[in-house]
Amino acid sequence: MPRAFDVRRTRSSGREGQGEEEEEGERSHVRSRLPSLLLDERRVDDAVAVHLSLALAESASADFPDRWPTLLEDLVGAASSSSSSSSRTRTRAARALRRCLRSIRLRKVALPGRGWGGGGRTFNPADLGGMLTRAANERRDAYRRACAIFDALLAGIVDSARRAATAEDRETIEAWRAEIVLAAAYVKCMTELLPMVDVGRGGGDDVDPRTIASVRELMLALTWVLDATGRCVPPPATTTTTTTTTAASSAMLERFARTDKLYRASLMCCTTSVRFVPRFFAPHVPVVLRATVETMINLDPSAMRSMPIKRLTGTTGFVGAVIKCEAYDGTRPRSGPARGGGGNSILAALMMGMENASNDGDGDDDDDPGMMAARGAVASLLAEGAIDRLCEALVGKFLRLYPDEVEEWENDPEGRYETDLAERTPLEANSARHCGGALLLTLLDRETDRVTRALLELTRRVVQEESWLDREACYRALELCRVAMVGRGQRILDFSDWFRSELGPMLRADLAEDAPVAMRAMQARAIQVVQAYSTSMNAEEFGVAFEAIARLIAARDLVTALCAARCISHLALLHVVGTAESSELTHVREHSVLALGNAFALANRCESEECLRVDLMCVSALVEANGLYLEPVLQAIAEQLPSLWERARDSVPIHSCLLSVLNHLIMKMGHATVENYHVQKVLFPLLDYCTDISVPNRADNLLEDGLRLWLVTLLSSRLVTMRSALSNMLPRLEVIIQSALEPHLSLKVLQFYAILLGPEVVATLSPILSQLLVKLTSCIHLDGDSEDAMDGDEGLKGMDRGITTMRNAIASFEFSEAIMQLFPDLGVSICATAMCKAVSAIAGNKTMAAPVLESIFACLSRLLWTNPNFLDEIFASDPNQDEKISFVINQFIGMVTSVSIVVMMSAQAQKISFINQKGASLALCSAVCRSPRVARLTGRNVLDFTQRLIEVESMSKLDLDGLVGAACGSTRKVVGDGPLGDSATRTSEILKSE
């Protein structure tokens, strides 16, 4: 059922207007059955009801209000207290109502028509304004119709919340449970509905006064609910129980938990009110803001820690929303609309020409008592002293390590490190640190000077008190606020002084194994602070820090060692830029052998995949930063790889890291790495493992990375030592190509095999390649909506609609050009069919992206050089032969002579562009000389193009070796890169011979 509407809409789009009555009958039947099924407790359990409500939300997005105007009223009626349904049914209806409201609110603006620019109707930019205006009006009408249930929702909130607050005295626990669940569901529905409420320009004459009164009543109700539920929730410390808890205490815990859900839902609704209707919530800001801030400041850390994470998220989110709301900022000029309006109001303002689309008024509210009270409350919070207390609470209660984390550090260091690593990811916002850190950054953005002064003063005081955990929390806060401390064109924090006096000595300290966890945590934090402020260090400080942290990879404390490995990964690559040497890079190379030795030793200590991945990425970064400078220790590095390969087993992360290490080893040190015995013991088994597509999911997880390593191996190999090993891998490549998997890489691998081993490699696959190239380029010569575009996909394993992407099409033409360059006759026989279709599409004025056109014309240049009569043969039976040949060649000349800004700014790109232009000129001259028709139609244009090119060549004094090096990539771009293999030499010889 959840897919019913998706399937129905897909089928509808394919009919293109046929059978509309039959289709509408189906839609009407589904609409009539869904609500009754959803509310039928006897036939539908709760799990199925969730899917039915999702289907209902899909219908709301598509059919409300035009085809189903009573949907929301029906659901709110089923959820109301006047309904004769059970509490379970009412709850289902309320939850389905919330999903429907959310679906309506987030419904995308759909422009009419389909197939823009792809063979369908031609899009006229002049119509865009009118289409957006109609779409905005439709959305506004849907919002207005949805808001018809506002009063019913408000009544539900008031009735259910009051019953829940008094049920304990006169009703059963079941009745109380039902009412509080309903109250929370009603509040969540209102949270979705509030952004759709139109309160106009501050509640002027253009808005129904009853709407204004209802919104004000809602604000009062929310404040009352927050006050009632806030008093019901006990201090978190009292909620902890033993395993022998009694039934009475279990009931109390349930009451606290459910009451907390209502509190959180109400606080979230208040946050939404601040964002969308700040004027109407303004009178209640002082009370609610004071209550939430005092909770953070006054609760002891253990009580704060035991609070539900969603409660902390809601609390800090509300305070942050109030601080960010420009309507409550008394220091900002009132010249323009204040921030806080809904998202759709921007679109409405753009389309309808409204001077102010914000829901909070036009800024002329200096005399409004509620707004003045809200601004006063915010100003008091941000005043000197108050903001200091709040910052201290955030650092001491949200950012500080808690006792259970200290215990985890001692007993499970890898788990502690992985937890800390996850907390640094924005997607893992399920910790107190994320809540406190987000609010601290909001405060910092609003009051930068006061917050930075407060943090620095707090850090100075804590350092004097010698409290290691508090000091670690302060350092974490300074790390979080790095941009404000040393960025934005100012230096509030003197990092050099901090590094000399505190950070440097911490990094050089050799802590004993039995040192307190707090001291070890402080050292690990110092490493992470250095990583965050790495761009603020001068060369001398960088060298000291790199050496000290490289030594700490061997620290006795495993968390500290892993933090050091991650930091070295960052520092090693920080100053690797182009071919320029730097003092920092010299320091990296000076201590890289030490760091590598400690990193490989750390790998033997790591047990978890994630920690081993971090360590191997450190090895990979060190290899990339050093290149040939590590050649004296290549043997020692290679000897470490077999044991890591044995540990990998079926671990995708470890295999990925080994691929990265080998990639960098081979790229940076050239054929010496490939020919090393210990490297080969890992390299070829790893390639075989990653490219074995017969294993389920292997192609999805590791094939692309495996092909990249394979390609790097080919580039760096010498046939005198590697011919046998490379030839043994050819059957696997044939299977991958036949399966059409990752063609942008597999074709490139085949190309370099052909360079190294000769035409036999390609000849055996020529029938498959010819068919594959046609399929890969089908997005060019077939319409995207045509079902013929995918005909025959079943004959090639792994072929799907992704095969016709632009990337694969470009890869196909690049492969065709390369094969025709290497083996002209064989290349023409393979790519002729695909090129015929592509050139015909160009002649038919098919719209294509510029990169695709460039690759087609580059391939056409090679094809015309080999077969000058190719265009005559393509259009031999076409009545418009002359026009199409002329159009193609003129397009060819126009494309090859147009130079982008990127090419203009790069000397090497200019050389490559000149080579392409010269090749095009020779190919076109060949076609003109061999084809009278081409000469008659475009001879003059080709001659003019060739003459201009000759003039450029005579004035530029281009060097042949420089051109060849730019074209074949025989020169490396980063200092420390090692030599390439035979493929570069052979490519260079081929270009020189031409």
763: pLDDT confidence band, cut at 50, 70 and 90?
very high
pLDDT at 10 over 50: no
| Residues 6 or more apart in contact with residue 622 via CB below 8 angstroms | 568, 572, 588, 592, 595, 596, 599, 630
pLDDT at 238 over 60: no
Residue 756, helix vs strand vs coil: helix
Q: Which two tokens stand for residue 870?
A: 């190719």
Q: Which residue from 125, 123, 9, 126 is spatially nearest to 62, judged by alpha carbons?
A: 9
With a pLDDT cut of 70, the percent of the chain lying above it is: 81
Identity of the residue numbered 562: L
Distance between CA atoms of residues 126 and 110, nearest Å: 17
Measure the CA–CA gap between 531 and 567, rounded to whole angstroms. 6
Centroid of chain to Cα 367 = 45
pLDDT at residue 548 greater than cutoff 60: yes
pLDDT by residue (tens digit) across 386-427? 999 999 999 999 999 988 899 999 999 999 998 888 776 655
pLDDT at position 441: 93
pLDDT band for 952, please (50, 70, 90 cuts).
confident
Q: How much is the pLDDT for 644?
A: 87
Residues above pLDDT 90, as percent of the chain: 41
pLDDT, residue 497, reads: 94
- Asked if the model's pLDDT at residue 1 lies above 60, the reply is no
User: pLDDT tens-digit profile of 692-704?
Assistant: 998 888 888 889 9
Q: Which residue has the tokens 């090693």?
A: 572
Is pLDDT of 517 > 80?
A: yes
| DSSP symbol at 718 | -
Decide if 118 contacts 783 (C-beta within 8 A): yes
CB atoms within 10 A of CB 364: 11
Q: Which pLDDT band holds residue 806 (cuts at 50, 70, 90)?
A: confident
The H-assigned helical ranges of 412-481 are: 413-423, 432-446, 448-465, 468-480
Mean pLDDT confidence for 515-534? 95
Q: In the Cβ-directed half-sphere of 730, how many Cα atoms lie within 13 Å?
A: 19
Per-residue exposure over 668-684, b if at least 16 CB sit within 10 Å of its own CB, e if not = bbbbbbbbbebbbebbb
pLDDT tens digits, one per residue of 80-113: 876 667 888 889 999 999 999 999 998 876 655 4
Distance CA 470, CA 397 (A): 10
What's the pLDDT band for 549 if we cut at 50, 70, 90?
very high
Q: Summarize pLDDT for 196-227 with one digit per residue, the tens.
A: 988 764 444 456 788 889 999 999 999 999 88
Predicted confidence (pLDDT) at residue 450 exceeds the cutoff of 50: yes
Q: Stretch 480-491: mean pLDDT, rounded?
A: 84
- Residue pair 911/899 in contact (Cβ under 8 Å)? The answer is no
Q: What is the pLDDT of residue 420?
A: 82
In the predicted model, what is the mean pLDDT of residues 952-965? 63
Mean pLDDT within 531-550: 95
In this predicted structure, what is the pLDDT of residue 521? Answer: 95
Res 561: pLDDT: 96
- 474-488, 807-821, 974-988: range with lowest mean pLDDT: 974-988
Tell me the pLDDT band of 140, cut-offs 50, 70 and 90: confident
Q: State residue 87's pLDDT score.
A: 84
pLDDT band, very low/low/confident/very high, at 629 (cuts 50, 70, 90): confident
* Spatial separation of the C-alpha atoms in residues 945 and 942, rounded to whole Å: 5
Q: Which tokens sit at 737?
A: 């190509």
> b vs e for 20-31, b when ≥16 Cβ sit within 10 Å of the residue's Cβ?
eeebeeebeebb
Asked if 714 and 752 count as a contact pair (C-beta separation under 8 A), the reply is yes
Report the alpha-carbon angle 57-61-66, nearest 5. 120
Q: Let me know: does 228 contact 157? Beta carbons within 8 Å.
A: no
Sequence letter at residue 205: D
What are the backbone angles phi and psi of residue 893, rounded to the nearest 5°? Answer: -65, -40
How confident is residue 229, by pLDDT bands cut at 50, 70 and 90?
Answer: confident
| Residue carrying the six token digits 């001879």 | 939
| Distance in angstroms (rounded) separating the CA atoms of residues 988 and 824 | 17
Mean pLDDT within 23-46: 83
CA 413 to chain centre: 29
User: For the ranges 231-245, 274-288, 668-682, which has the lowest average pLDDT?
Assistant: 231-245
As a whole number, the mean pLDDT across the chain is 82
Please give the distance of CA 314 from its chain centroid, rounded to a whole number.
25
Q: Say whether pLDDT at 757 is over 80.
A: yes
What is the average per-residue pLDDT within 617-645?
Answer: 89
Which class for 82: exposed (0-12), middle (13-18), buried (19 or more C-beta within 10 A)? exposed
Q: List the single range of 14-28, 442-456, 583-597, 855-869 with lowest mean pLDDT.
A: 14-28
Peptide bond into 65 cis (omega under 30): yes
Higher pLDDT, 908 or 150: 150
Whether 353 shows a pLDDT value over 80: the answer reads no
CA distance 123 to 131: 12
- HSE-CB of 892 using CA atoms within 13 angstroms: 32
Q: Which two tokens stand for residue 9?
A: 């809409």
What is the pLDDT confidence band of residue 829, given thresholds at 50, 70 and 90? very high
Ranking 157-161, 165-169, 793-797 by mean pLDDT, the lowest is 793-797
> Angle at Cα 854 formed by Cα 848 and Cα 856, nearest 5°?
80
| Per-residue pLDDT reduced to its tens digit, 57-80 | 998 888 899 889 999 999 998 888
pLDDT of residue 594: 95
Segment among 95-109, 332-346, 609-623 with least mean pLDDT: 332-346
Whether pLDDT at 318 is above 90: yes
Q: By the 8 A CB rule, do 208 and 289 touch?
A: no
345 or 952, higher pLDDT: 952
Determine the average pLDDT of the residues in 632-650: 87
How far is Cα of residue 516 from the mean position of the Cα atoms in its chain?
A: 39
For residue range 702-720, what is the model confidence (pLDDT) as tens digits? Answer: 899 999 999 999 988 999 9
Of residues 644 and 789, which shows the higher confidence score? 644
Binning pLDDT at 50, 70 and 90, where does residue 779 land? confident
DSSP-derived 3-state class of residue 206: coil
Residue 171 has pLDDT above 90, yes or no: no
Residue 338 confidence (pLDDT): 42
Residue 456 has pLDDT above 70, yes or no: yes
Q: Is the pLDDT of residue 126 over 70?
A: no
pLDDT range class, residue 923, cuts 50, 70, 90 = confident
pLDDT of 304 above 80:
no
pLDDT higher than threshold 60 for residue 383: yes
Closest to 553 (Cα-Cα) out of 513, 514, 603: 603
Whether the predicted pLDDT of 799 surpasses 80: no
CB atoms within 10 A of CB 298: 11
Closest CA to 470 of 395, 545, 420, 537: 395
pTM of the model: 0.81
Q: With contact defined as beta carbons under 8 Å apart, do 921 and 949 qualify?
A: yes
